Structure 1
Amino acid sequence: MAEFVDRRMESALQELEQLVKAKICTDEEIKSIVKTLRKLEYNVGRHGKSVEDHLKYVKYEMEFLELIRERRKRLGYNFKFNEIEGSVGKRCQTRLLRAEGRHPGSMEVWDLHVELCRFLNWHPMASQVFIRMLQVHSDKPEVWIKAANFELKENGSPDTARELFMKALRWHPKNEELWREYLLAELKIASNVYARAELLGVSTADLVKGDDPIATGKLVMAVARNAMLTVPDVDFSASLYRAIHTTQISLKLPEELWKPLSEFILSEMERSHGALPAYWKRRAEFCLLPTRSTANGDTLTEYETINAEKAAFEVLDSAIEKNDSADMWQEYMEFFVDLYSESAAKSDDRLHLLKKRFEKAHEIFQMAEQKKAVGFSHLLSWSRILFARRRVQEALAVLSKAALVLPVTLDGFAKLIQCYETVSTDSGAVIPLIQRAKATLPKTDPEFWRHLISWTLQHQPSDAEAVFRDALRQTRPVVASSALLYLQWAYRESTGKGRKVYQELCKTPGAFTEPLIKWVLEEEEKRRKAPIALLRKILDQALIAHGSTSADLWIDYIQLELTYPGGDALKSSQMVWKAQRALKPEAVALFTSMYNLITADESESG
């Protein structure tokens, strides 16, 4: 193999010599590069090479190319590109072609090849890589999208991009992301047509009146129609509308192009989905799109936002008049939940807007309650809205109603108790819920006990130990998760109590787990007052239970003897011998590598 490595290294000498002549690299740097390249060549030439070996090779070369680029800028040297970058790029490409053949299923190899071609501006070569990639990964819609967007945005080939999207849709006709990206690609192509016409002095009106299907918007409208026919889903159609609104702002599309398209999508949505409550919620959300993005990037004024929300409320009010059903009321309430979530994320503090929004939200929740359409989750949302306006008593009254329709699930109890904790510091309403949860929820779920312990510690701390002991009488998964919480609580109480509880847990079936042992070791070592005899005793107990499977515990013991005050370095050497005898064969290799790292660190520090 050395002969082949030397041959490949000789082929790299030309660009390395050019780098020295151009003073881009020094002789010492070239020696270091040659040493690293030789090592990488041996890695990719050995019999048991992996995909990571190929990737490391190419990534190193690409970092080298980045260094060359930066030094060219600094020196102002703009010659010998083919002899230097071209030679390195061809060597990387040869390596990547071999990697593609050996590991065609690795997307990282394909992506790195495309990245290399982009870095070197080899766009035709990148197109060929995408073609080979699609032959192997045609089942992945994201690869088709990546290839088509490359052809459109970087390679300047809209016809090829359109062809790729159409082929992709034959493979994946129901894929929503493909249809959406295809629609946006057609809008981008139309935008390019309008930009070119503007440079040539052709008016927008002349383009719209012409017979070009791209400029008139007929092509993009056909794409939208086919998309909605193929994927007849209200959320998908709404996503198309939102995508068009965002794109027309970013691309500054003329109104003559995007507005008819938006109106067409709205009319098709109403024709196909007008009977669905979800459609009217999406329609109301469209009224708020100007509040989220504007052409100049500015936010709307408070007055403009109030008017936009008023228009959204009018859409939903008209929907309620047509369809006074529980589902419609739930969509109306969900609209307010989303609106408040978005407002909280933005930290909106416009007082008049918040007042108007609350008045409408409170009115709708009250009307929905009269219709008996407010479910458990919406009652919780209603209480949060009331609490945000400091109407605490009304929020508590709503939570009382939620408790009456509380589903018998852990998630339901957790959400209701969390709302009570947010609204009020009084535990009077929470304690009956905790008792109800204990009586109704299954006790075999570790997650239930985690919540129960948390609730008890916050609201009934005097009962905490009883709950912990009850948990230790349950199934092994419950015991394993609760034991660590019990130990952490005991150490917070006092060190003596923590050590006493630890001794009890050592004798409890299922409690003496490796995470528990590691935690108590860390806790004792933090204090630095724990005698080493105590730590040794903890580790001796741990190794009796887990010494045949856990290489980590043996390493912890060795590090304890090497680093802790009072440790015995001679004993650490004995522990290595014991570990190799006690561990199972599959764990011995891991232990050996971990121990070698420790000894290497010790020798370096020494």
Structure 2
Amino acid sequence: MADTVQFYLEQMVPELEDLEKKNLFSKIEIKAIVKKRTNFEYALKRRITKKVDFLRYIEYEMNLEALRKKRKSRLETKPSKQSVSDYAGNRRIFFIFERALRKFKGDIALWLQYIEFAKANSANKTLGKIFADAIQLHPRKAPLWIMAASWEFEENANIVAARVLMQRGLRLNPAEEQLWHEYFKLEQVYIEKIKARRKILGIDQKSQALRELESTDEDGEEMIKLPTVTAGEAEDMDEDGEEARAVKQMEESVAEKMREGINPILNGLLSQIVYDNAIKAIPNDLEFRTKFIDIYNDFSDTEAGIQHVYNTIHDDFANNEDARAYLVARHLNAKNEENGHTTIKINDPKFVQAIRECVQEFDVCVQDIPTTKMWELYSDFLTKWRGAVTETNLKKYFTKLLIKTFKTVEKNELISENLYLTWIDLLRSQNDAPQALSIAVHACEVFSKCVDLWLARIELVNATEEATESVESEEQLFQLALNKNGESFKLWSTYVDWIEQKWKDDALSKEAVDELMTNACRKATTLLPSLVESTAERNRIKDYVLGSYVMISAKISGIKKARETYKKLINGSFPTLAFYKACLQLEEEHNMSQSSSQQSQHLYEMALRLNVDKEDTYLAYINYLNSHKLFTKAAAVYAKAQQDVQNKESFEHKYQQYKNNEPAAERSVLGNQNNNESDTEMITTSE
């Protein structure tokens, strides 16, 4: 090991001598560099080499090279001949990367870092080798194929090599969506570059048409007069007439083939072939196909290609609701040269016609696919644009269409919970609360397990003048909803919030609140355990209701009433550990007397009876006692814990961590600071 390190250090001698000769680094700095490199080299020769050692070495060399370049540019007044120190730094970084990748061949992130460094230093020959090695080791990694093809096309201007790389990658990874999209984009970029070049040369179709327009004149006044041809010149021309005509025909043929309107390559034939092959490899993915349209929209003159994608979606996804809805939305798409693909603006005259076309096509869709999902997509479309438009007639138009849609779906027995909710929201936005309540009542009968419908119905009770019920009716609705949906945390939390809000609005007395919360706790305790199995959601409901009762009691009547409440619940409701934690938090907030400490200790003792998370509960109890300077009691609890917990070794380990927590944290911070200083130290001087 020492011999290898010494060999590497000896290779640095010419470079270091050159740096000193050019006055870029002093002797002291060079000694510091040698010492630092020696430490890094020995670190790389450990029995178990770590990736971080290579990365730190690379980072150090990069910083050192940046410093060398900065000093050189400052000291040299005119360009000088390159010497060994000018390229030795980058060569060493490449060498370290190679050594690292020999150890960590499977690390893709390290390969990508190596590639980026080679690109930054314009090491084209090295890049070719890097890509070849990386792809050979990781042929299933699409980003490597894409980066290699991108480098060939953008840096080497070699479209053939880029295509070969993408095709090889796709042969090995035919189901890799990213590869197909990037290959498709590559062909589009290539076509775009050809068009831009033709435009600069003035041989594109638009430029030729413009020249023809400028060279013609209806009156013939600006026509260029050709010189007259003598008889001798005509005779000479006749001698070579056949050859001249042949050349002319050939030129016209080539020009005709290269016209943009006729040339299949410029019309996107290759891109279309890529797309067709892609959908053969991945046939049933709608989102995969729509991505090709997004790519098309970034380029010019792609209308034919976009239409081809639309046609394939229509043919292959004729019975797919999402696909049909996507095709409908295409009528609202617009494309311009400045912003690319956009949606037609509401104030655009084309908007109304586009909406009509969408509605007509949706009418066909719901006939072809008479499913609930298709009607929901239609409803979502109308709802979205109804909320977007501001013009009165348009809003009425969307409203009528929505009402007609809801009635049709209900008549055909295809209505869903979401459609009912949208219908209710529409009626509420029109201030038609009675009709909305009528729909909500019927919806709750059809979908009694939908919590959102019950909540909408409850909200509509107070908003409806025809409703004679008041607080009691809302309470009855809540009870009815809870009987149907006892497992819904959203419904329980809304009910508890409603009780508290009614008390704040003076609509409920303290006694009424206490009675309602007592009944809620009883139902949460008796209803949930009667179910087949206990789940985290059901325990969450029980914890929330019981904890809320305690908190509301504290808000209404103070800490004494809250203590009475949680003692009552402990005796009759079988609370969980989360409930005890909430009570302890409440006691901590009202820690004003010795009685509070006694209550907290009682809560800890009760929590330990649950036989759940005993190790953490004991540690929290000991921490509480020590924080209140009850050291004797803390020692007794610790002794009891040693006998009570099952995994004594684990508890002891956690207890020692607890005891040494703050000092250990301080030592850890100091240790990190020392490590950072040693890692970031590069040379004795700084710029």
Scaled by the length of structure 2, what TM-score is found?
0.65
* Paired residue total: 574
- How far off is 1:454 after superposition? 1.2
- Tell whether 2:453 aligns with 1:416: yes
Closer, same or farther: CA 19–107 of 1 in aligned 2, 3 Å: farther
Closer, same or farther: CA 491–166 of 1 in aligned 2, 3 Å: same
- How far off is 1:517 after superposition? 5.0
**2:440, 2:453 within 8 Å by CA — same for their partners in 1?**
yes
Name which structure has the greater RCO, CA cutoff 8 Å, separation 6+: 2
The amino acid that maps onto 1:457 is V
Instruction: Please give the alpha-carbon distance, in whole angstroms, between the structure 2 residues aligned to 1:459 and 1:203.
Output: 71
**Following superposition of structure 1 onto structure 2, how do residues 131-280 of structure 1 map, counting pairs within 5 Å?**
131-135=132-136, 137-139=138-140, 148=149, 152=153, 157-204=158-205, 208-209=259-260, 214-233=265-284, 235-236=286-287, 239-240=290-291, 242-248=293-299, 253=300, 255=301, 258-274=302-318, 278-280=322-324
In the alignment, what sits opposite 1:337? Answer: 380
Instruction: Please give the alpha-carbon distance, in whole angstroms, between the structure 1 residues aligned to 2:156 and 2:606.
Output: 66
**2:409, 2:415 within 8 Å by CA — same for their partners in 1?**
yes
Instruction: Please give the alpha-carbon distance, in whole angstroms, between the structure 1 residues aligned to 2:337 and 2:649.
Output: 61
Greater shift in the superposed pair: 487-496 or 538-547: 538-547
Closer, same or farther: CA 477–364 of 1 in aligned 2, 3 Å: closer
**2:420, 2:443 within 8 Å by CA — same for their partners in 1?**
yes
Instruction: Please give the alpha-carbon distance, in whole angstroms, between the structure 2 residues aligned to 1:406 and 1:420.
Output: 12
- How far off is 1:376 after superposition? 2.6
Closer, same or farther: CA 297–371 of 1 in aligned 2, 3 Å: closer
- Tell whether 2:87 aligns with 1:82: yes
User: Could you list the per-position Cα deviations for residues 298-357 of structure 1 after superposition, in whole angstroms to 9, with x for gaps in the alignment?
Assistant: 8754322x733642442442563587356278535414415645897xxx5744565554
**2:436, 2:460 within 8 Å by CA — same for their partners in 1?**
yes
In the alignment, what sits opposite 2:363? Answer: 320
**Following superposition of structure 1 onto structure 2, how do residues 278-297 of structure 1 map, counting pairs within 5 Å?**
278-290=322-334, 295=339
**1:194, 1:204 within 8 Å by CA — same for their partners in 2?**
no
User: Could you list the per-position Cα deviations for residues 244-282 of structure 1 after superposition, in whole angstroms to 9, with x for gaps in the alignment?
Assistant: 44322xxxx2x2xx1221222233344444566655422
Closer, same or farther: CA 155–457 of 1 in aligned 2, 3 Å: farther
Instruction: Please give the alpha-carbon distance, in whole angstroms, between the structure 1 residues aligned to 2:91 and 2:386.
Output: 53
User: Could you list the per-position Cα deviations for residues 220-266 of structure 1 after superposition, in whole angstroms to 9, with x for gaps in the alignment?
Assistant: 11122233344444824750463244322xxxx2x2xx122122223
Instruction: Please give the alpha-carbon distance, in whole angstroms, between the structure 2 residues aligned to 1:451 and 1:540.
Output: 32
In the alignment, what sits opposite 1:456? Answer: 495
Greater shift in the superposed pair: 7-16 or 277-286: 7-16
The amino acid that maps onto 2:339 is A
Instruction: Please give the alpha-carbon distance, in whole angstroms, between the structure 2 residues aligned to 1:164 and 1:123.
Output: 17
Greater shift in the superposed pair: 279-288 or 15-24: 15-24
Closer, same or farther: CA 567–149 of 1 in aligned 2, 3 Å: farther
User: Could you list the per-position Cα deviations for residues 453-483 of structure 1 after superposition, in whole angstroms to 9, with x for gaps in the alignment?
Assistant: 2132134564333232333341554664245
Larger radius of gyration between Structure 1 and Structure 2: 2
Scaled by the length of structure 1, what TM-score is found?
0.72
Other structure's SS at 2:298 match: helix
**1:96, 1:113 within 8 Å by CA — same for their partners in 2?**
no
Instruction: Please give the alpha-carbon distance, in whole angstroms, between the structure 2 residues aligned to 1:358 and 1:37.
Output: 78
Other structure's SS at 2:185 match: helix
Closer, same or farther: CA 380–319 of 1 in aligned 2, 3 Å: closer
Closer, same or farther: CA 572–392 of 1 in aligned 2, 3 Å: same
Closer, same or farther: CA 15–279 of 1 in aligned 2, 3 Å: farther
Closer, same or farther: CA 489–378 of 1 in aligned 2, 3 Å: same
In the alignment, what sits opposite 1:529? Answer: 592
In the alignment, what sits opposite 2:503? Answer: none
**Following superposition of structure 1 onto structure 2, how do residues 345-356 of structure 1 map, counting pairs within 5 Å?**
348=388, 350-351=390-391, 354=395, 356=397
Instruction: Please give the alpha-carbon distance, in whole angstroms, between the structure 2 residues aligned to 1:172 and 1:288.
Output: 36
In the alignment, what sits opposite 1:54? Answer: 51
In the alignment, what sits opposite 2:103? Answer: 98
- How far off is 1:210 after superposition? 8.3
**1:280, 1:315 within 8 Å by CA — same for their partners in 2?**
no
**1:549, 1:587 within 8 Å by CA — same for their partners in 2?**
no
**2:16, 2:30 within 8 Å by CA — same for their partners in 1?**
no
Other structure's SS at 1:314 match: helix
Instruction: Please give the alpha-carbon distance, in whole angstroms, between the structure 2 residues aligned to 1:23 and 1:569.
Output: 65
Closer, same or farther: CA 392–499 of 1 in aligned 2, 3 Å: same
Quick one: which of 620, 629, 633 aligns to 1:567? 629
The amino acid that maps onto 1:417 is W
Task: Please tell me the root mean square deviation across aligned C-alpha atoms, in Å.
Answer: 5.3
Closer, same or farther: CA 483–265 of 1 in aligned 2, 3 Å: closer
Instruction: Please give the alpha-carbon distance, in whole angstroms, between the structure 2 residues aligned to 1:476 and 1:84.
Output: 65
Other structure's SS at 1:290 match: strand
Instruction: Please give the alpha-carbon distance, in whole angstroms, between the structure 1 residues aligned to 2:6 and 2:579.
Output: 54
User: Could you list the per-position Cα deviations for residues 530-576 of structure 1 after superposition, in whole angstroms to 9, with x for gaps in the alignment?
Assistant: 655554554555567669863x55654565466x4x43679879988
Closer, same or farther: CA 217–152 of 1 in aligned 2, 3 Å: same
In the alignment, what sits opposite 2:424? Answer: 383
- Tell whether 2:663 aligns with 1:599: yes
- How far off is 1:146 after superposition? 6.0
Instruction: Please give the alpha-carbon distance, in whole angstroms, between the structure 1 residues aligned to 2:570 and 2:31.
Output: 60
Instruction: Please give the alpha-carbon distance, in whole angstroms, between the structure 2 residues aligned to 1:70 and 1:237.
Output: 48
**1:145, 1:181 within 8 Å by CA — same for their partners in 2?**
yes
**2:618, 2:641 within 8 Å by CA — same for their partners in 1?**
yes
In the alignment, what sits opposite 2:553? Answer: 493
User: Could you list the per-position Cα deviations for residues 60-85 of structure 1 after superposition, in whole angstroms to 9, with x for gaps in the alignment?
Assistant: 84488479759967996599663445
List runs of 5+ in structure 1 lacking aligned partners.
Answer: none
**2:334, 2:342 within 8 Å by CA — same for their partners in 1?**
no
List runs of 5+ in structure 2 lacking aligned partners.
Answer: 77-81, 207-254, 464-470, 501-512, 671-687
